[in-house]
A and B are shown apart, each in its own frame.
Chain A
Amino acid sequence: MSVASATRAAKSTTRPGGTLYRGHEGMWSWVLHRITGVAIFFFLLVHILDTAVVRISPEAYNAVISSYQNPLMGVGEIGLVGAIVFHALNGLRIIAIDYWRKGVKYQRAMFWTVIAVWVVLMAAFIPRQIIVIISEVQG
């Protein structure tokens, strides 16, 4: 057996101990948590500014908020809600890993639970949002 294939065999059969964040679900959930977190942060900055226009005048606020009410933004809102729901559910998973005695043991199962709950919640939101987008197209 060559060194390379031996290394490959060892990689596929053993998992390094105590490395929750190296590879597989532990790493990818961390990557997704960062990316969604940064995206949500920048949306939050804009969202506070657009909401602040409500203090200027009803006319000004309606003009600003109407930019959220076109089909392109409607699709963007699906992305935003998807990012927020993932960040929320995975955040609860992180807390469980930190505080629940069996959290580390079940972190993989909890990741797939996060994905499953995410799919269910998005299955509730996406059809509802598509109806809103269609009504925006029709004016």
Chain B
Amino acid sequence: MTTIATPRSPYTRSPRRGLNWEKAGWLYMRISGVILVVLILGHLFVNLMLGEGVKGIDFAFVAGKWASPFWQVWDVLMLWLALIHGANGMRTIVNDYATTRGMRVTLKTFIGISAVGLILLGTLVATTFDPCPQVSVDQLDLLPSFCPPQ
């Protein structure tokens, strides 16, 4: 039998324990969003507007950027913030449109695996990158101009 509260008894909130993850996610979207506006619009400006635009992007261009810790930090920060922001957005959309529990769990598992896998891959690539790798003689001209002669 259900007990009905005494009339006019004051409203009490049921106590919540621990971190409110849904609220943390909501807040994360806004904080990361503001930072990403700067990081991504800066990324687009440097890579697509300056110099030769997208036509100027090649190994030497990337090596020239990642030879500096400034762009390494910029890109790794962008990677983490953007992928978590995107994965959390996709999670919201799955929660809204996937009608069965099985479908929601499956889709969110795929989203989570993709996000974690690509964050690890991207971080490894950007932090272990060598702007002047050993290459065969016919590919020496693909390296940036600051590389010492091999």
Contact = CB atoms under 8 A, between A and B. Distances in A.
Q: Do A and B bind each other?
A: yes
Interface string A45-82: 10011011011011101100100110000100100010
Contacts of A20: none
A58 B59 contact: yes
Given A49-B118, A92-B37, A129-B48, A54 B129 contact: yes
Interface in A66-104: 68-69, 74, 77, 81, 84-85, 88, 91-92, 94-95, 98
A125 B48 contact: yes
Give the size range of B's interface with the partner: 35 or more
A58 B135 contact: yes
Contacts, number: 106
Contacts of B34: 92, 95
B83 interface: yes
Given A54-B125, A84-B40, A128 B142 contact: no
Contacts of A51: 62, 122, 125
Nearest to B82: A44
Given A37-B89, A54-B125, A59-B139, A69 B59 contact: no
A95 B62 CA distance: 33
A57 B121 CA distance: 16
B114 interface: yes
Given A54-B59, A59-B139, A88-B37, A41 B121 contact: no
Interface residues of A, number: 40
A40 interface: yes
Nearest to B87: A41
12 contacts: A45-B118, A48-B121, A51-B122, A58-B135, A58-B143, A59-B139, A59-B142, A62-B59, A69-B55, A85-B41, A95-B30, A129-B53
B139 A55 contact: no
